[in-house]
Structure 1
Amino acid sequence: MKNAIVLIVLAVVLAGLVALPWVAPYFYIFLGTEVLILGLFAASFNLVFGYSGMLSFGHAAFYGIGAYATALILLHLEWPFLACLVVAMGAGALLALVIGFLSVRLDEVYFAMLTLAFGMMVFAVAHQWRSVTNGSDGIAGFMLGDFAPGIDWSLGDPAVYYHVVLGVVVVAAAVLYLICRSSFGLILRAIRQNPERVSFCGLDVRRYRLAAFTVAGAFAGLSGALMAPFLRVASPEMLHWSMSAEPVLMSILGGTGYFLGPFFGAAVFVLLESWITGFTDAWMLVLGVMLALMVMFFRRGVLGTLLDWVQGNHD
């Protein structure tokens, strides 16, 4: 019965998301697109943090390299957008494989600091390598062509691009969900709870952590590939360490113990930011206070707390 209710709610939410461009102004289409992309970004981070127990402060490196790969391909090669998404996922996975190989051997704060250091290195490369990345100005001026050979969608139309993003995010989320529910995902949860016991069972903990880190990097690269055409630019700010803090906050805000928690946290974060900036210049202060209060009083995340209330568990 409970599973049926969940499926019905998800179907209603998905139907509402599909209908959004037909019932809402363009402003909300832009907000919806941003929420979907950042939700996927946060969900990719949660595979590392919520399921594997590794706190990464360099996740924006994979997000940014996906954005740069897409921008460079569209600018110089003019490939179909679907090919750009595939290349961006590969670039994110490859970078994550290299960084993860050097990082997963460390635990807790040492792992977090090392990923932060690597993230800052990637940011420095993008900022300084002007001949390729155009430095602090970023890469702009690229055009979106066909989505795929034979599929001539008007990706420049915000409503069409929103539906493309929605479709890609739904498919990516479904794949991530299957990964989390698979035996691989169960082993990751076991590693988060007690890595020593998993190691005693004969499993290579580092190999599983590296695999999770690489998969997360691929989906972070995909989210960056979706964001670059949305913003019409790929800039070093997308690689900055402060960008790595956003999926951390969104995941904790929504609830790391729930697969849809990061998506819910992204929606709360983006909507609060949009609402607060509309009436005060000190929006960062107000947003920070509100987010701090929500994290303090919603211990299981906003989604987890709401589910507890619905189920009658108010402890």
Structure 2
Amino acid sequence: MKTKVLMAILAVVIAGLIAVPWIASYFYVFIFTEILILGLFAASFNLIFGYTGMLSFGHAAFFGIGAYATALVLIHLEWPFLVCLLVSMGASALLALMIGFLSVRLNEVYFAMLTLAFGMMVFAIAYQWRSVTNGSDGLAGFTLGSFGLGLDLTLANPSVYYHVVLGIVAIAAIVLYLICRSSFGMILKAIRQNPERVSFAGLNVRTYRLVAFVIAGTFAGLAGGLIAPFLRVASPELLHWSMSAEPILMAILGGTGFFLGPFIGSAAFVLLETWITTYTESWMLVLGIILAMMVIFFRKGLLGTAIDWWMEVKK
């Protein structure tokens, strides 16, 4: 019965997401596009934080590199959008492999600070390498051509781009879910709870952490590849350490112990930010207070608290 109810709720949510361009204004089409992209970004972060127990302060490096890779390919090569996304994933995976190889050797705060240092190094390179990245102005002026696979899609249309993002994020989420539910995902959970015991069992903890780090970076790069055409620019702000704080907040807000938690957190964060900015210029203060209260009183995140409440009602 519980499974049937959850499947019914999921079906309604999916149907609602598909229908957004037909029942909502263009403004909310943009808002929900951002929610989906940032939700994937947060879900990729949650693979290393919620499942593996590694707190990274430099996750935006992979997000930003994915955005720059897509922008550069569109500007100089004009390849189909699908190929651009594959390039962005490859570039982010390579960067994650290099940073992860040096970072996963350390634990807890040392790991967090090292990822922050590497993230700021990537930001500094993008900010200063003006001949390639155009410095603080970022890369703009690129246009979306064909999608690829022989599909005739007008990607410049916000509604079409929204459905493309929805489809790609859905596929990516399914892949991430299968990874989390696999034996590999179970080992990651074990590493989060007790890495010493996993090591005593004969498994190489560093290798598993590195693989998880690379997978997370790859999907963060995919999210970055989607955000560049959405914003029409790839700028150094996408690489900044403050951008790395967003997936952390979204994952905690939604619930790190649940796969869909980061997506719920992304929706709550973006919608709150959107609504509050329409009423006050001090939106950061108001948003900060609201988010702090939500984190304090919803200890398991919005999704976890809702599930606990539902279980109590069922009793």
TM-score scaled by length of structure 2: 0.99
CA distance in 2, matches of 1:270, 1:115: 25
Q: Does 2:174 correspond to 1:174?
A: yes
2:106 is aligned with 1:97: no
Unaligned runs of 5+ in 2: none
Q: How does 1:295-310 map to 2 (within 5 A)?
A: 295-310=295-310
Counterpart for residue 38 of structure 2: 38
Q: Deviation of residue 6 (structure 1)?
A: 1.2
Deviation at 1:5, TM superposition (A): 1.4
Question: What are the residue-to-residue correspondences of 1:84-163 with 2, within 5 Å?
Answer: 84-163=84-163
- Residues 27-48 of structure 1: CA distance to partner in whole angstroms, max 9, x if unpaired? 1100000000000000000000
Partner of 1:18: 18
How high is the sequence identity, in percent, across the aligned residues? 74
Give the Cα separation in 1 of the matches to 2:169 and 2:220. Answer: 11
Task: State the alpha-carbon separation in 1 of the partners of residues 266 and 260 from structure 2.
Answer: 10
Q: Determine the C-alpha separation between the residues in 1 that align with 2:18 and 2:292.
A: 32
Please show how residues 1-315 of structure 1 align to structure 2 within 5 Å. 1-312=1-312
1:313, distance to aligned residue in structure 2 (A) = 6.8
Instruction: Give the drift of 1:151.
Output: 1.2
Partner amino acid, structure 2, of 1:53 = G
Q: Counterparts of 1:227 and 1:59 in 2: how far apart (Å)? A: 15
RMSD: 0.9
Number of corresponding residues: 314
How far does residue 311 in structure 1 lie from its aligned partner after superposition? Answer: 1.4
Q: Tell me the SS of whatever aligns to 2:312.
A: coil
Cα distance between partner residues in 1 of 2:184 and 2:10: 25
Q: What is the letter of the counterpart of residue 287 of structure 1?
A: L
Query: C-alpha distance in 1, partners of 2:228/2:93?
Result: 18
Separation in structure 2 between the aligned mates of residue 158 and residue 9 of structure 1, nearest angstrom: 27
**Cα distance between partner residues in 1 of 2:69 and 2:194:** 37
User: CA offset at residue 138 of structure 1?
Assistant: 0.1
TM-score of the two chains, using structure 1 as the length reference? 0.99
1:149 Cα deviation after fit: 4.3
Summarize deviations over 1:59-111 as a string: whole Å, max 9, x none: 00000000000000001100000001111111111100100000000000000
Q: Which runs of 4+ in 1 moved over 6 A?
A: none
Distance 2:284 2:97 in 1: 34
Q: For the residues of structure 1 that align with 2:89 and 2:184, how far apart are their CA atoms?
A: 20
Q: Which residue identity is paired with 2:290?
A: M
